[in-house]
Amino acid sequence: MARKFFGTDGIRGRTNEGVMTAEIAMKVGQAAGTHFLRGGHRHRVVIGKDTRLSGYMMESALVAGFTSVGMDVIMTGPLPTPAIALLTREMRADLGVMISASHNPFEDNGIKLFGPDGFKLSDEAEMAIETLIAQEPLLVSPDRIGRARRIDDASGRYIHAVKQSVASDIRFDGLKVVVDCANGAAYKVAPAAIWELGADIVTMGVEPDGTNINRDVGSTSLDAIKARVVEEEAHIGIALDGDADRLIVIDEKGRTVDGDQIMGLIASRLHDRGDLKGGGVVATVMSNLGLERYLEGQGLTLERTKVGDRYVLERMKQGGFNVGGEQSGHMILTDHGTTGDGTVAALRVLASLVRSGKPASELLHVFDPVPQLLKNVRYSGGKPLENESVKAVIAEAEKELEGKGRLVIRPSGTEPVIRVMAEGDDAAQVEQVVDRICDAVREAA
């Protein structure tokens, strides 16, 4: 059955259009609430959001949907996605909801759902909810309508939890850290957690106005933080995305450290202590071949999944891994949480910086990446990857790279874009391969 609402990371789209309207949000609340009404206890859902203007509208619509089918609602206000996963478990809720479109611009929004265990829903659960959305809602009698309330201490609970990811003997005294919160969900909690551990912090992206989330700041717009790290002579820069489940690091020279390098660092440190589980790391098909070779050199494996942190997490759970993530910055450390958490990963990087005594540029350059190129081709409709001429160009490229590199071509799960990625030891060859495929896809589209 084809999906109508859910993509690779919940439901996402342009606000007041398509699947991202107040009407649909209310139906999602009714359907998800009905799906999780199990047992005779009073049922509860935790709802958080990032700083988008449309968050108010979507929150109100979801509250209406959940309460109409008999669920009580707890609203936290702006908090990172991993905080909602944490609070869902901690508050014994039946369901958690994060209203966010992550790294997308403010015009978009999204709905991410967590089960009572704090993990993102399975494909099966999402399909069950899709089926219920299409049906008439099972409204409860007036005396069973749910209640809604806001809680004031959610931020403090999350800050306390993330600080527990760092050993009690670690302090960040003497570290100067630039913290860029993308004008998003972590604009209060991430700087607070790092400051409370002793760092001297310089903040960016901490003045949300409803429309400036991810605009020229954050993990997908790094020019500003790179310049600020150098200007402030900081030891390191921490860049989060709009819902703070991603982390990109900037070293003291203003250079980018992506998720692959961060995973390599964290995994090797845990391996040295005998605390790495699963015998390696789980990442997606987009992670650099250099990371795979680096891990192999330590007797560790890199297991790849399709793109999407939920698929990484599923494999981690199956294989008992405790380190996984994506090159784009999702960091999943299951010893400390049930989903990607940029703030927790940042604290682990800062702790390694303190323990090593090395500059970030040395510590965080874990491996030499293989030349890799990713280009996006936007299209307006149809299925260009099913075009015979496109298939022929791809087959030719795969044969050319065989034994020397990799090719990954996929449609985005969040926007009408074909992503074309190639990597190999010959940078010129990689560029030629990507350009040929992109040209073929554009022509077919």
Same domain, 265 and 306: yes
Number of domains observed in the structure of the chain = 4
Same domain, 101 and 236: no
pLDDT, tens digit (0-9, with 9 covering 90-100), for 80-106: 999 999 999 999 999 999 999 999 999
Q: What is the CATH number of the domain that holds 273?
A: 3.40.120.10
Amino acid in position 28: V
- Is position 243 annotated in a ligand binding site? yes
First to last CA, the chain: 25
Residue 165 belongs to some domain of the structure:
no
Same domain, 52 and 179: no
Q: Say how far apart CA 175 and CA 375 lie, in whole Å.
A: 36
Say how far residue 417 (Cα) sits from the centre of its chain.
19
Q: Say how far apart CA 82 and CA 90 lie, in whole Å.
A: 12
Catalytic residue among 102, 155, 268, 287: 102
Same domain, 147 and 190: no
pLDDT of residue 4: 86
Residue 212 belongs to some domain of the structure:
yes
Same domain, 203 and 109: no
3-state percent helix, strand, coil for the chain, nearest multiple of 5: 40, 20, 40
Same domain, 231 and 268: no
- Of 350, 312, 353, 357, nearest to 334 (Cα)? 312
Q: Say how far apart CA 266 and CA 240 lie, in whole Å.
A: 18
Count of C-beta atoms within a 10 Å radius of residue 114: 27
Residue 224 belongs to some domain of the structure:
yes
Same domain, 300 and 430: no
Residue 352 belongs to some domain of the structure:
no
Q: What is the CATH number of the domain that holds 403?
A: 3.30.310.50
Q: Which parts of the chain sit beneath pLDDT 50?
A: none
- Is position 260 annotated in a ligand binding site? no
Same domain, 27 and 112: yes
Same domain, 245 and 266: no
Residue 162 belongs to some domain of the structure:
no
Q: Say how far apart CA 76 and CA 256 lie, in whole Å.
A: 33
Q: Which domain holds residue 407?
A: 372-444
Told to judge if 328 belongs to the known catalytic residues of this protein, a careful annotator would answer: no
291's CB contacts (< 8 A; 6+ apart) are 260, 261, 263, 264, 281, 283, 302, 367, 369
- Torsional sign, CA 423, 428, 431, 433: negative
Same domain, 393 and 433: yes
State phi, psi for 337 to the nearest 5 degrees.
Answer: 180, 175
Residue 348 belongs to some domain of the structure:
no
Q: Give the domain-ending residue among 191, 223, 256.
A: 256
- Is position 309 annotated in a ligand binding site? no
Q: Give the domain-ending residue among 231, 256, 281.
A: 256
* 3-state secondary structure at position 174: coil
370's CB contacts (< 8 A; 6+ apart) are 288, 289, 290, 293, 405, 423, 424, 425
pLDDT of residue 368: 94
Same domain, 311 and 182: no
The pTM score is 0.90
Q: Where are the beta strands (DSSP E) in 156-213?
A: 176-180, 200-204
- Is position 102 annotated in a ligand binding site? yes
Same domain, 280 and 322: yes
Burial 413-440 (b: 16+ CB within 10 A, else e): bbeeebbbbbbbeeeebbeebbebbbeb
Count of C-beta atoms within a 10 Å radius of residue 7: 17
